[in-house]
Amino acid sequence: MRAQASHRRLLGLLRKEWLQVLRDPSSIAIAFVLPVGLLLLFGYGVSLDARNLRIGLVIEQPSAEASDLVSGFRQSVYFEPRFFDSRQAARSALAQHAIDGFIVLPADFARRLQAADEVPAQAIVNGVDANSARLLSAYVQGVWSTWLQRELATRSSGPSEPVAAETRIWFNPELRSRNYLVPGLLVVNMTLVGALLTALVMAREWERGTLEALLVTPVTLREILLGKLLPYFALGMGGMALSVLMALTLFQVPLRGSFWVLVACSMLFLLAALGMGLLISIVTRNQFVAGMIALVTTFLPAFLLSGFLFDINSMPVVVQAITHLIAARYFVAILQTLFLAGDVWSLILPNAAALAIMAILFLGLSRRLLRKRLE
């Protein structure tokens, strides 16, 4: 009898929440439009690969060797070479950001190469954007050394083969940064979506005075929390599914782990994110403040401190310790493993456990802090 009444109350709350979701499109927008929009924006916008780098080439005196090297740059997908007559012209183009760097093959390039006395070419890179500069110089080095080796091999004049270090890249052989950025982005988006969904709805009930009326009915706090959690959990999982689908189809990210592990971990993560939103909502009781706090405490840390963009191991120890408080960190590790490596249990299990602990923590705190009173 008692259980039945509780069941009916919960159903009533769920139906009410669902009707509100349908009538007020903002929740649907948060659950579906927001992650899709962010994924499209960042998925295409954020890339750590340098492609079509604009490189200037100054060839002071044409020669067979020089044009051979130039064709090496032309064939590379990374470069978009442009030619300049003099160093001055290239330098001013660099200053105007028309090119990212330039290479000078001096007039005595062919002669000095024959004599093999020293590196006869000069590369100048715009160092304003340090990351691009590093990439550019690495790529230039790559093209240069490939060409040099080939040149030496055809000549076979050197007494000894230079020792070449061979690099092998696992898990992401094409070195597409998108393959590990998109799973990370998914986490960032879902952190925001999860927290916003619940942060706004609970605060809305405070603001509109409806919670005051609810609290005076026989409804229990567990029912109120479940009534909020379940509908938005369903919405959040929907948004998550849509994001995964986009990652697999639109961005062609491989999924090497098992689908069901992905589902299970997503559920844990979403519970943690929704729990955080609930907690914010219960504490602030104000939609505007709750929204701002949700944004600042989820989106920014998930972006910067989750290991999605910046390696956690290279952060200072104190900051590393703080990253343990960010649920996104664990989910980034799980998703990057699942998408790029597979079911690596030694990585997935501890991170999933951490997510479960965070979910329990946030939901438990919400339950403790929500009272059947107004203060």
Partner 1 sequence: MTGPVLTAVDLRKGFGAGDRAMIALDGVSLQVGAGAVTGLIGPDGSGKTTFMRLAVGLLLPDAGRISCLGLDLSSQSGAVQGAVGYMPQRFGLYEDLSVRENLDLYADLQGLPLQERPERYAALLSMTGLGVVTGRLAGRLSGGMKQKLGLACTLLRPPRLLLLDEPTVGVDPLSRRELWRIVQGLVERERMSVLLSTAYLDEAERCADVILLHQGRVIGQGPPSSFSAPLRGRVFLVTGPTGQRRPLQARLSRQPGVRDALLQGDAVRVVTDSAEAPDCTPLGPSVSCAPAQPCFEDGFIDRLKPRTEQPADLQPLDRRRSAAPGATAAAIEVDHLSKRFGSFTAVDAVSFSVRAGEVFGLLGANGAGKTTTFRMLCGLLPPTSGRLSVAGVDLRRAPAAARARIGYMSQRFSLYAGLSVTQNLRFFGRAYGLGGRRLRQRIHWALGAFALADLADAESGTLSLGYRQRLAMASALLHAPDILFLDEPTSGVDPLARREFWGRINALAEGGITVLVTTHFMQEAEYCDRLAIMAAGALLAEGSPTQIREQVRAAPGAATGPVETLEDAFIALIQARPQTGTGDARPG
324 binds partner 1 (CB under 8 A): no
Rounded-to-integer distance, Cα 263 and Cα 241, Å: 9
Q: 171: which 2 tokens? A: 């898990």
Element at 364 (helix H, strand E): helix 345-369
Closest CB to partner 1 among residues 30, 355 = 30
Closest CB to partner 1 among residues 23, 168 = 23
Closest CB to partner 1 among residues 16, 176 = 16
- The residue among 160, 150, 187 whose CA lies nearest residue 301 is 187
Quote the least distance from Cβ 34 to partner 1, whole Å. Answer: 20
93 binds partner 1 (CB under 8 A): no
CA distance to 29, 84, 261, 361, per residue, from 334 (Å): 27, 49, 10, 20
Element at 83 (helix H, strand E): strand 79-84
Binding mask 4-33 for partner 1 (x = CB under 8 A): -x--xx-xxx-xx--xx--xx---------
**Residue selected from 46, 215, 295, 309 as contacting partner 1 according to rule CB under 8 A:** 215
CA distance to 23, 89, 236, 266, per residue, from 262 (Å): 31, 54, 14, 6
State the CB neighbour count (10 A cutoff) for residue 199: 31
Piece of 83-91, 162-170, 178-186, 202-210 that binds partner 1 (CB under 8 A)? 202-210
Closest CB to partner 1 among residues 54, 204 = 204
**Residue selected from 130, 216, 317, 318 as contacting partner 1 according to rule CB under 8 A:** 216
Closest CB to partner 1 among residues 2, 168 = 2
Q: 192: which 2 tokens? A: 């925001």
Closest CB to partner 1 among residues 324, 372 = 372
- Number of residues this chain uses to bind partner 1 (CB under 8 A): 27
Binding mask 218-247 for partner 1 (x = CB under 8 A): xx----------------------------
Instruction: Classify strands 101-105 and 53-59 as parallel, antiparallel or unpaired.
Output: parallel
**Residue selected from 95, 213, 325, 369 as contacting partner 1 according to rule CB under 8 A:** 213
CA distance to 262, 267, 330, per residue, from 242 (Å): 13, 14, 21
CA distance to 73, 88, 98, per residue, from 127 (Å): 20, 18, 14
- Return the half-sphere exposure (C-beta side, CA atoms, 13 A cut-off) of residue 252: 5
Quote the least distance from Cβ 232 to partner 1, whole Å. Answer: 16
**Residue selected from 86, 88, 149, 217 as contacting partner 1 according to rule CB under 8 A:** 217
- The residue among 80, 128, 88, 118 whose CA lies nearest residue 104 is 88
Piece of 1-9, 49-57, 253-261, 280-288 that binds partner 1 (CB under 8 A)? 1-9
375 binds partner 1 (CB under 8 A): yes
**Residue selected from 67, 92, 149, 210 as contacting partner 1 according to rule CB under 8 A:** 210
- The residue among 120, 69, 59 whose CA lies nearest residue 90 is 59
Quote the least distance from Cβ 281 to partner 1, whole Å. Answer: 17
Quote the least distance from Cβ 375 to partner 1, whole Å. Answer: 6
Element at 53 (helix H, strand E): strand 53-59
Closest CB to partner 1 among residues 149, 220 = 220
Closest CB to partner 1 among residues 11, 245 = 11
**Residue selected from 162, 173, 209, 316 as contacting partner 1 according to rule CB under 8 A:** 209
Site for partner 1 in 355-374 (CB under 8 A): 372-374
CB 320 within 8 A of CB 313: yes
What is the torsional sign of CA 355, 360, 366, 368? negative
List residues near partner 1 by CB under 8 A. Answer: 5, 8-9, 11-13, 15-16, 19-20, 23-24, 208-210, 212-219, 372-375
